[in-house]
Structure 1
Amino acid sequence: MRRRVPNEVGIAAVVVLVAIVLSVLSPNFRTIENAQVLLLNGAVIAFLALGQTFVLLTGGIDLSTGSNIALTGMIAALATSAGLPWYVAVIAAIAIGLVVGSLNGSLIAYLKLPPFIVTFATFGVAASIPLILTGASSVNVRDPFFAIIGRGALFGIPMPVVLVAVAAIVFSVVLRFTSTGVHIYAVGGNAETSRLAGVRSARVIVLAYALSGLCAAMGGLIVTSRLMVGYPSAGSGNELFYSIAAAVVGGVSLFGGIGSIGGALLGAMLIATVSNGMNVIGVESYWQPLVIGVIILVGVVLDTHRRRISLATLLSRFRGPREAAAAAPTS
């Protein structure tokens, strides 16, 4: 019996190959200092990719992740500037991220609105609120302990990397070993069939978008903690495209129902490596969106091709027994 090679093996090989090529092109890429920068920047991309994975698995998409970074990071900075301790600021930021995600999910699940339109509208709203609250000014973080999130370390491992690892383990367990995970895949695979099977699709969709909001909040906390400043324009760069590219390249289908947390993490590692490598070898920043766009396009093409092959295989297996039965002689 032939064993199926996991999709994660292919993306892992690509990550290693890209890292080797970049190391040859620039000795600075393989330094310890650059590796630390890559991991820290990759942690934000990884969190966004994890959240985007849940949404994509349900057949949706979340365009509000970038502006959610700015909103949650600014809420945390404003909380500390008001004299609140750092852990209260963290809770407030996470709560706001969950609210934004839950609002997206509720509008999509209960009002049957298109995910693209809903999250694009939320993107604009969440991007404007920090500007309105601060008059487009940055806000310094007052509590020095807040730096633990982005600058701290546990046994020598940067805290953002630890947080990503913990989140990835928890999310993997949820998707693989709980009924909630089964329902998420079912809703993305066939929403109508899952509904007829008794799955509460609306709750599953709200949960997926809430988790995406939570992951965006974690990204906002890491960015704000590293800088110890809340910027109203944080997350307005390529974070959104990175999150989608990482998930898709990692094997998460844009059509729903297919993907894994491990694949999304490897995709995030690839995107972070490519972005970091282009910076190290001196590629102009305006080339990066082009490269990421090509990566997304290739991922979509491969995903579409894979689905067609899977559908053709399924149809051939279904037709085989029927054709054999029709050809069999009758007594």
Structure 2
Amino acid sequence: MANPELKHGDQQPKSQSKIKTSRLSWLWSEYSVVIAFLLIYVVAAIMNPRFIEMNNQINILMQVSIIGIIALGMTVVMLSGGIDLSVGSVLAFVGVVTVLALNASGSIIVAVIVAFSVGALAGCLNGLMVAKGKIASFIATLGMMAAARSLALYIADGGSVSGEVAGFTAISNSKLGIINYPIIIFLLMTVLIYILMHKTRFGRYVYAIGSNEKAALLSTIRVDRVKIGVYSLAGLLVSLAAIIETSRLNSISSSSSGQAYELDAIAAVIIGGTRMTGGRGKIIGTLFGVLILGILNNMMNLMNVSPHLQGFVKGLIIIVAVVFQKRE
């Protein structure tokens, strides 16, 4: 006759192992991007001692600040179940219009207002096409990408435009202690978007729409309004990034500025754990995703890897991140 005590004892280790496995899987699911960041950081520090120098750390944060701000808006869009391919072209268009407004008015405040207005308008148009026109976000923003770049090239005659007002460059080139303003702006916006998405009704609605749009409609959520708000917010963040990029060199190129920024932003968001299908992801994950991209770019530069291969690395990272998401 089987001993019930032995049977119970045999089952206990199995149940404990299942609990440990579930805890490990939960830990990886919630904090995989943080773990990946720490591993990559340690490996980079070991491979090249110059990596951990303070100047290099500040340089990394400066390099990711613009893409980071754009990626915050991209996160909100992707959480709603959409995507925005127009961010790079809109940045160039906003930058060109901002410089022209700056030169025409002689006022930095007027230029900043114009920048935010143009970016918000572009985002709002994206939202209207997706929400009211029922156009797939991929197609709608692809059209905006082509239109915005074309307008930027037309207005600037295919070249660059430069600012003529002293003080505009202070936005990107001033420091608070040893920290540059763009870094502070990026971190501040991360905190604000985190609060918006995790502590407000708007954020809950975005998650609900991304998880199940039909259920959100049945829950009396104004899906169209939320979607328009999502894309308008993304446009405002692109405007902020455009102001920083334009003021850094006091000029903007209508042809090259913002090129492939949508790839970098999407890569950062996916690495941060946000699902392509929407409804799941975290702003903090995007922050670490941006930092991981920054470290990888920095290490490739320190190791003299050809810049032509960096896009290949980013594409590979996106594929690997999506594969891991599907396995969760």
Match of residue 285, structure 2, among 239, 247, 263: 263
Q: Could you tell me how far 1:131 is from its partner in structure 2?
A: 1.0
Q: Distance in 2 between matches of 1:56 and 1:203?
A: 16
Q: How does 1:1-331 map onto structure 2 within 5 Å?
A: 4-5=26-27, 7=29, 9-306=31-328
Letter in 1 for 2:124: S
CA contact (8 A) 2:89 2:259 kept: no
Between 248-257 and 151-160, the greater mean CA deviation after superposition = 151-160
Give the SS at the match of 1:142. Answer: coil
Give the SS at the match of 2:196. Answer: helix
Letter in 2 for 1:207: G
Between 174-183 and 13-22, the greater mean CA deviation after superposition = 13-22
Letter in 2 for 1:51: G
Q: Distance in 1 between matches of 2:286 and 2:239?
A: 18
Q: Could you tell me how far 1:74 is from its partner in structure 2?
A: 1.3
**1:151-210: CA deviations, max 9, x gaps?**
112243211111112211111111111111110000000000000000000111111111
Q: Could you tell me how far 1:88 is from its partner in structure 2?
A: 1.4
Q: Distance in 2 between matches of 1:295 and 1:137?
A: 33
Q: Distance in 2 between matches of 1:176 and 1:236?
A: 29
CA contact (8 A) 2:149 2:254 kept: yes
Letter in 2 for 1:162: I
Letter in 1 for 2:107: P
Between 269-278 and 255-264, the greater mean CA deviation after superposition = 269-278
Q: Distance in 2 between matches of 1:269 and 1:299?
A: 15
The count of aligned residue pairs is 306
Distance 1:8 1:160, change over 3 A: farther
Give the match for residue 309 of structure 1. none
Q: Could you tell me how far 1:16 is from its partner in structure 2?
A: 2.3
CA contact (8 A) 2:65 2:182 kept: yes
Q: Could you tell me how far 1:250 is from its partner in structure 2?
A: 0.2
Q: Distance in 2 between matches of 1:29 and 1:143?
A: 36
Give the match for residue 316 of structure 1. none
- Equivalent pairs: percent with the same residue? 32
Q: Distance in 2 between matches of 1:6 and 1:301?
A: 14
Letter in 1 for 2:181: M
Letter in 1 for 2:76: F
Q: Could you tell me how far 1:33 is from its partner in structure 2?
A: 2.5
Letter in 2 for 1:249: I
CA contact (8 A) 1:45 1:272 kept: no
Give the SS at the match of 2:96. Answer: helix
Give the SS at the match of 1:144. Answer: coil
Letter in 1 for 2:302: V
Q: Could you tell me how far 1:212 is from its partner in structure 2?
A: 1.1
Give the SS at the match of 1:139. Answer: strand
Gap runs ≥5 in structure 1: 307-331
Give the SS at the match of 1:225. Answer: helix
Q: Pairwise CA RMSD of aligned residues? A: 1.7
Q: Distance in 2 between matches of 1:129 and 1:155?
A: 39
CA contact (8 A) 2:68 2:186 kept: yes
Q: Could you tell me how far 1:103 is from its partner in structure 2?
A: 0.4
Give the SS at the match of 1:105. Answer: helix
CA contact (8 A) 1:97 1:214 kept: yes
CA contact (8 A) 1:67 1:234 kept: no
Q: Distance in 2 between matches of 1:73 and 1:187?
A: 32
